[in-house]
Chains A and B, each alone.
Chain A
Amino acid sequence: MNVLKAVSMPAPKRLRDLIREIRSSRTAADERAVVNKECASIRESFRDQDNTYRCRNVAKLLYIHMLGYPAHFGQLECMKLIASPRFTDKRIGYLGAMLLLDERQDVHLLITNSLKNDLGHQTQYIQSLALCTLGAICSSEMSRDLAGEVERMIKSSNAYIKKKAILCAFGIIRKVPDLMEMYIPATRSLLNEKNHGVLLTAVCLITEMSEKSPDTLHHFRKLVPQLVRILKNLIMAGYSPEHDVSGVSDPFLQVKILRLLRILGRGDAEASETMNDILAQVATNTDTSKNVGHAILYEIVLTIMGIQSEAGLRVLAVNILGRFLLNNDKNIRYVALNTLLRVVSADYNAVQRHRTTIVDCLKDPDISIRRRAVELSFALINPNNVRGMMKELLYFLETCDPEFKSDCCSNIVIAAAKYSPNKRWHIDTVLKVLTMAGNYIKGDVVTVVIQLVSETSQLHAYSVQQLYRHLSNDISQQPLAQVAAWCIGEYGELLHSSAIEEEEPLQVSNDDVISLLERILINNNSSVVTKEYAITALMKLSSRFTDCSLRLQQVISQYGSSTNVELQQRSVEYSSLFVKFDHMRPALLEHMPLIEAHPHSLEENFLDGQEEVNLLSDSTSSHTNGHGGTPTSQPTENGDIMDILSSSTSPAAVSAGNRGGGAVDLLDLLGDLTMDAPPIINNPVSPSAHNLLDGFLQPASPQNLVNGSSSPSPMAVFNKAGLLVEFTCQRANNDPTRTVINMKATNSSPYPMSDFVFQAAVPKSFQLSLQSPSGTSLPPVIGGHITQVIQLNNPQKQPIRMRLKINYTQNGNMVNEMAEVNTFPLELWQ
């Protein structure tokens, strides 16, 4: 019967014949025709349950699948192949399963039984097929079913099976982390093996386990000396042709071990100590003539940065990265920049040394490298190098791709605000950004610039004339137009001033100015916002240019019928100011008061989207601990920087909306330090009570905390311009790490002080809490005083140091004072 069948039906096409036929089709339609015909024939074959050629048919189907055609009808056939006793069938069957039968398919679970059988097969290659498939497509259920089998196979004495089983377990643990426990006992002894495949896979498994579970990590930490030994043997052992890659002995294993060391050494001083030597050794012994050597050095750098390594080693790592930067191979340069970006916060000084090379990378032809270089450059700006860096960055801004421009602008503006050596330079830089970056600038930059110009009163004339010049050259850049329009409106009269630094004074008539603003209004490319600015500016000019009222009135009233509601509204309202309320006009249009500064709001908004840039995923820099994940782009200086600031909420003045203002003060206090999330406020007492009982309410007496000791004499910590601040310090008897300080402030000057705010900052190891002050005003001639209680926790018994910041208003002037106190008596902390 079979013979008859074979005679009547030709054997199905061979795989390579099909491939040849498909490739020779000239059009897509041709190809489709061939494929469809073949699929039909294959389907018929499957229906006839043809065992002999099933393998060939499935292979053809897999090829067709790779071309992009549907092949789901082959899924069951794959299962039949897997169930066949022939190795050839199983081989194709399992391949088909891996390609067609991932866990999302309905029939997926049906192969579990076959897998189980084959895992226990006597032929190792069939076991291998099953392990491979399981590792590739295991689902949660399948993993649970077969986890035990895999665990048994890890203990096999056959290295070939062992290594595959280990990686299978790796896959299972990824899918079902709960199953990790059962593999730990078997894993322990795996590092004693000599076979590189087993070692490699074992290290891989241990790494995965340690990353997933802190307990397991702790358990495996004792393997560090063994890992160090294995690594040492690898590099000392001399040439082994089997595992050699361009002169390096088994780089895959080396890198895997280095990565595991990184994970085990993270946050653990002892383990890190054990690794220091081998890391230095591998770093110096590795031949870097080929990519493989660099791959190992790269991993070493990541490991050094990720553990608690000694300073010398960290410098070595940064220098390796510096060498990478000079390499001709762009891949290596890219990797270097990437890593430098991750470590710049922790090892700022070391990275600074390579600044010139990094800045050169701004001109690299590869966009990924340029992107990295730009981020890194911003991180490296400091007051010393800001001029040079800005020059390079502005040049980059001019020539860079549009996708960079927006972020680059914001960053430049932020950096300029932080590090500008003087106001003139600051304004010049910001103006350059406005003129170069066109419409890519973000909206909040405009506000920041306006605020900057308005607060730099001494440069108003200079700023407005420069802006006028730039605007008259080009009205198409909206941010520039907006800033310029605002300034011209505010400071229009200064356009004629000749007191503007060394520049040539502008020669322009009032009519020219009005014409320029008119041009903006008329231009179709001006955005609505820009036009709004322009029309408001024109209105303001009516009180600056007193001779042009008629013309201004005409221009403004034109927009009374504008189709844009905003413009129309403004026009109508302004026009009515001319007509009906002319007497109020000058008063309404007076110069604006100083805009309250939120210079870092731009930074806060901006940094929120930049989280990944400076977070050190690997680094254990102790400086970043406890910072609640707030990203910063500023370098952390070490040791004695005070980064915990506690401030009291002054009852009357500070409202929630003023938090921004408070943040500014804090930043000023800390200067160039990293800034935390909003400071800790310890004020349970209701503010309103203080308002009513100002002057009468005594602060919560600390007497119940401090018992017994005689009250010590007060020490003066600040004495200036009539303000005297004294500290009376006592150590809590029941808790020697706690000190209570009573602050008392008095005013001996003839003028009263109001809005008095006292703030203090201490080094990292301390905890500070300020209770509510008794009030906020100091009557003159020591008519009263303000007291405040400070509680200081000094668990490490360090010498007490404190930085003070005092604000108050006197005679309408705001006074800001800072002081440092180092003269705390020894008895308080020893």
Chain B
Amino acid sequence: MMQFMLLFSRQGKLRLQKWFSAYPDRVKKKTTRELITLVLARKPKMCSFLEWKDLKIVYKRYASLYFCCAIERDDNELLTLETIHRYVELLDKYFGSVCELDIIFNFEKAYFMLDEFLLGGEVQETSKKNVLKAIAAQDLLQEDEAVESALKEYGLY
């Protein structure tokens, strides 16, 4: 099971944090700081896996963003790389050629996408199509509601 996932920029700014276990706030802050420092210090020739405390850290860089996951000792690191890649593909399909700015300005949508792909630290859906379909349907629900309330405001609904 994945313990947490962090997305951060090359300057060390946090763009997304998903915690699948409960930690106190200051532990989260400390962990985030430590890992960002550790990962940013890695040279390009080094492998994508780190050992940290009793967890394995798997990270991959996509353009200006680092995707960093912490998995347990028995988890498959190579598959985690695939999991990260699948998430990026989903974002890419959704935003149309995703870049860091998309994730900054639409961070809540990035979270929604993650929540359709992973749950409790495990992959819940392996079909790209199904994940995107679910997101699209929920976006539609939101839009319908927005239209509804706009119409209500003008007394037309």
Contact = CB atoms under 8 A, between A and B. Distances in A.
A19 B46 contact: no
B79 interface: yes
A369 interface: yes
Interface stretch (B16-24, B62-70, B90-98): B16-24
A255 interface: yes
Contacts of B127: 196-197, 242-243
A252 B124 contact: no
Interface stretch (A289-297, A413-421, A477-485): A289-297
B82 A87 contact: no
B120 A160 contact: no
Contacts of A135: 119-120
A617 B54 CA distance: 15
B40 interface: no
A171 B142 contact: no
A66 B103 CA distance: 13
Nearest to A298: B78
SS class of chain A's interface: helix, strand, loop or mixed?
helix
A379 B122 CA distance: 35
Residue among B19, B23, B47, B120 with most chain A CB within 10 A: B120
B82 A295 contact: yes
Contacts of B111: 95
Contacts of B17: 66
A369 B50 CA distance: 11
A80 to B, nearest CB: 17
A19 to B, nearest CB: 6
A136 B122 CA distance: 11
A63 interface: yes
Interface in B63-111: 74, 76-79, 81-83, 86, 104-105, 107-108, 111
A197 B1 CA distance: 16
B34 to A, nearest CB: 15
Contacts of A268: none
A170 B46 contact: no
Contacts of B120: 135-136, 167-168, 170-171, 174
A103 B81 CA distance: 30
A330 B45 contact: yes
A299 B79 contact: yes
A197 B124 contact: yes
B91 to A, nearest CB: 16
A380 interface: no
Q: Chain A, interface size: which category?
A: 35 or more
Interface stretch (A216-224, A360-368, A539-547, A571-579): A360-368
A16 B139 CA distance: 18
A332 to B, nearest CB: 7
Interface in A206-262: 242-243, 245, 250-253, 255, 259
A224 B99 CA distance: 44
A75 B51 CA distance: 34
A92 to B, nearest CB: 7
B75 to A, nearest CB: 9
B47 A200 contact: no
Contacts of A171: 119-120
B49 A291 contact: no
Given A86-B145, A167-B122, A252 B104 contact: no
Contacts of B30: none
Nearest to B130: A197
Given A164-B119, A253-B126, A368-B47, A87 B78 contact: no
B72 to A, nearest CB: 11
A245 B47 contact: no
Given A68-B29, A196-B127, 9 more contacts: A19-B104, A87-B145, A95-B108, A103-B22, A136-B20, A137-B22, A174-B1, A368-B50, A368-B51
Closest 10 pairs between A and B when the two form their complex, measured CB to CB: A295-B78, A135-B120, A171-B120, A330-B47, A102-B22, A167-B119, A295-B79, A197-B125, A334-B47, A242-B127
Interface of A: 16, 19, 23, 59, 62-63, 66-68, 86-88, 91-92, 95, 102-104, 123, 125, 128, 131-132, 135-137, 139, 160, 163-164, 167-168, 170-171, 174, 196-197, 200-201, 204, 242-243, 245, 250-253, 255, 259, 291-292, 294-295, 298-299, 302, 330-335, 365-369, 617
28 contacts: A62-B108, A68-B29, A86-B145, A88-B141, A88-B142, A91-B138, A136-B119, A139-B22, A167-B119, A174-B1, A174-B120, A196-B125, A197-B125, A200-B126, A201-B122, A251-B82, A253-B126, A255-B76, A255-B79, A291-B81, A292-B78, A295-B79, A299-B79, A330-B45, A331-B77, A332-B78, A335-B78, A365-B45
